[in-house]
Amino acid sequence: MVRVSIVLESAMGSDRDRPLGEMEIDMIAGTGSTVNQSKGEVADYRYRIRKWTADRGIWKSGTVTGHNRRTRGPWDLLFLCLLDAVGERNLR
């Protein structure tokens, strides 16, 4: 399982002089998690992304298939989940 939290922290105020890790959390903007659905070197994952809005429900969910766990890491899995959920939003 991979779990990610998006935290918005203020760049203003007393927190900016503290070492990383000692900053207070201003707002959690959302969370994402994956669950492994298969065994083996190449695996399928189910993901859920929650936005911390008024309803706090699941914003996007889906499946990523064929992720090679030996040659690709958790950042690659996160990228594939986001690509599946929102597509290519920004032009390069």
Query: What would the pLDDT profile of 4-55 be if each residue is shown by its tens digit?
Result: 988 877 666 555 555 555 555 567 888 999 999 988 889 999 999 998 776 7
pLDDT of amino acid 84:
93
Domain total for the chain? Answer: 1
- Report the Cα–Cα distance between both ends of the chain, in Å, rounded: 30
pTM of the model: 0.73
- 3-8 β-sheet, strand order: 3-8, 27-36, 42-51, 58-68
User: At residue 71, does pLDDT exceed 90?
Assistant: yes
Please give the residue that has the higher pLDDT: either 56 or 32. Answer: 32
pLDDT of amino acid 92:
62
Strand ranges inside 1-92, DSSP E = 3-8, 27-36, 42-51, 58-68
Q: CA-to-CA distance for 6 and 28, rounded, in angstroms?
A: 6
Whether residue 41 is contained in a domain is answered as: yes
pLDDT of amino acid 34:
93
Whether residue 92 is contained in a domain is answered as: no
Does residue 48 contact residue 24 with C-beta atoms inside 8 Å? no
